[in-house]
Amino acid sequence: MKSPRTSAARRTVTLATVPVTVAALLLAAGPASAGTTTGGAGVGDPYFPLAGNGGYHVRHYGLTLRYDPASHRLDGQAVLTARATRNLSRFDLDLKGLTITALTVDRAAAAYRREGQELIVTPRRALAQGRDFRVAVTYHGTPKQVTDPDGSPDGWIRTDDGAFVAGEPQGAMTWFPANNHPLDKSSYDFALTVPADRAAVANGVYLGKHTAAGRTTYRWRQSEPMAAYLATATIGKFEIERYTTDDGIQVYNAVDPREASAAAPVLKKLPSVLKWESRVFGPYPFRAAGSIVDHADAGYALETQTRPLYDAAPDLSTLVHENAHQWFGDSVSLTTWKDIWLNEGFATYAEWLYNEQHGGDSAQQTFDALYARPASDGLWAFPPGDPGSGANIFGTPVYARGAMTLHELRRAVGDRVFLRILRTWATAHRGGHGTTAAFVRLAEHESGKDLAALFRTWLYTAGRPAHA
């Protein structure tokens, strides 16, 4: 994709700092007018047209939040450090619900209006392309969860002792203003204040807590780039466990006491799971790790960056799955939600490989059992590389047939080359983005084979493939 009007001068500024795919999409979104453009209401994702925003890149979020579980009131200040990727007369953020009481751009009050999830900001003066700017939004209210196209709750999901805070694919906008699309990745600082008998757990490294007047502030820093959907600020009564692995990873586990006895034997395996995954996929991509085991009704677990979020004590496969996402999905991010199999197919295949190497079924056995399902089974309802809509991105074909695709790749190229492909994928795109096309290219490059038919069949062809 190409910007409608790109002068050579403009081009030089952006591409140096933003990965090429990001730059291309950020540049493409939004209508252009002479010289200055508006940011655009989305980055151009076909499944979530309003997700994210064009024209700028958020380098850092500073989130200062206070939550009172009794009244459900959230008071927040979000300070975004951003860079204009075009000359901008105005730009959008994604924020749903909540009341804004102040909004500044570079410390000057800015005009804004709200249209659905779009927060449309018009700074006093246009922002020149390449310029860094600071947006501060002060807000409060009762955060309300959203319902995803698949019917799942998402965002700030209330629990009986706090909140289970998830964001895939769109819930981040229920609790902070963001450029809410995985194309835009940023560092984060969190200062979360809750009643002193609760904990507030976010992403990255734990920086400490401070209690005063019956309230405790928890500080967190996520220094490696993170997509907004992977942010959390989960609140509740938790038992805390902290340690550093012998690889130097700082682990922080928060466990709802009601889940503690069921969770303990699984969480105990976290260091060995991370070690195994690091051996198979390459070095763990973050300096922190851990788990948040809540007691909630979300119906799913989420690979919140550095610290997966579980709505109940996870089983070992789920722990393996969510931590595999740290490589596949978190470190290597989607460019478009349509490519979701790059997350879910890979994390599912990690479960198969883990089982195979720990005395369980071989990946071939797992594959065979799935392949035996009749053509009418939901597994074959749509091809994983083309789920068709946001309602299908977490469907069985994405997870299971996505993993079957990787197994077919493994059979075609052999174990050694297959593992090299996975590891090279994680390393080459670490902290950045991937696309299905780039993965296919890599697999062909590493194997020296033409794999077009394999991927066409397994990723893109409707119905149960005739040959496995």
Binding site for Zn ion (CB under 5 A): 344, 347
Q: Tell whether residue 300 is a contact of ligand ARG (CB under 6 A).
A: yes
Q: Tell whether residue 316 is a contact of ligand ARG (CB under 6 A).
A: no
With residues binned 3-state (H G I as helix, E B as strand, rest as coil), the percentages for the chain, rounded to 5, are 30, 30, 40
Q: Which is nearer to ligand ARG, 94 or 303 (CB)?
A: 303
CB closest to Zn ion, residue no = 347
CA-CA distance, 416 to 419, in Å (whole number)? 5
Q: Which is nearer to ligand ARG, 82 or 334 (CB)?
A: 334
Q: How many helices (H) and strands (E) does the chain have?
A: 12, 24
H-helix segments, 177-296: 260-267, 270-281
Beta bridge partners of 140: 75, 99
CA-CA distance, 331 to 446, in Å (whole number)? 21
Taking CB within 5 to 8 Å according to partner kind, which of Zn ion, ligand ARG, none is near residue 189?
Answer: none
221's CB contacts (< 8 A; 6+ apart) are 187, 188, 189, 190, 204, 205, 207
Q: Which is nearer to Zn ion, 184 or 344 (CB)?
A: 344
Q: Which of 322, 339, 351, 408 binds ligand ARG (CB under 6 A)?
A: 322
H-helix segments, 143-300: 260-267, 270-281
Sheet holding 132-141, edge to edge: 108-109, 99-105, 132-141, 73-84, 56-68, 185-195, 215-227, 205-212
Q: Which of 127, 301, 324, 353 binds ligand ARG (CB under 6 A)?
A: 301
Q: Which is nearer to ligand ARG, 55 or 167 (CB)?
A: 167
Q: What is the 3-state secondary structure (H, E, C) of 341-388?
A: HHHHHHHHHHHHHHHHHCCCCCHHHHHHHHHCCCCCCHHHCCCCCCCC
Q: Tell whether residue 154 is a contact of ligand ARG (CB under 6 A).
A: yes
Q: Which is nearer to ligand ARG, 77 or 305 (CB)?
A: 305
H-helix segments, 86-203: none
Element (H, E) at 285: none
Q: Tell whether residue 311 is a contact of ligand ARG (CB under 6 A).
A: no
Cis before 123? omega within 30: no
CA angle 81-87-92, nearest 5°? Answer: 55
Q: How far apart are the first and last CA of the chain?
A: 36
Q: Which is nearer to Zn ion, 148 or 161 (CB)?
A: 148
Which of the 8 DSSP states describes residue 125? S
CB closest to ligand ARG, residue no = 152
Taking CB within 5 to 8 Å according to partner kind, which of ligand ARG, Zn ion, none is near residue 294?
Answer: none
CB of 457 to Zn ion, least distance (A): 23
Q: Which is nearer to Zn ion, 77 or 348 (CB)?
A: 348
CB of 174 to ligand ARG, least distance (A): 12
Query: Which range, of 93-101, 112-120, 294-302, 458-466, touches ligand ARG by CB under 6 A?
Result: 294-302
Query: Which range, of 9-17, 207-215, 300-308, 400-408, touches ligand ARG by CB under 6 A?
Result: 300-308
Q: Tell whether residue 303 is a contact of ligand ARG (CB under 6 A).
A: yes
Q: Which of 168, 189, 256, 259 binds ligand ARG (CB under 6 A)?
A: 168
- Count the neighbouring beta carbons within 10 Å of the beta carbon of residue 52: 28
Size of residue set near ligand ARG by CB under 6 A: 13
Taking CB within 5 to 8 Å according to partner kind, which of Zn ion, ligand ARG, none is near residue 351?
Answer: none
Q: Tell whether residue 150 is a contact of ligand ARG (CB under 6 A).
A: yes
Taking CB within 5 to 8 Å according to partner kind, which of Zn ion, ligand ARG, none is near residue 148?
Answer: ligand ARG
Q: Which of 13, 302, 309, 334 binds ligand ARG (CB under 6 A)?
A: 302
Q: Tell whether residue 394 is a contact of ligand ARG (CB under 6 A).
A: yes
- Please report, as ranges, the residues that interact with ligand ARG according to CB under 6 A: 148, 150, 152, 154, 168, 300-303, 321-322, 344, 394
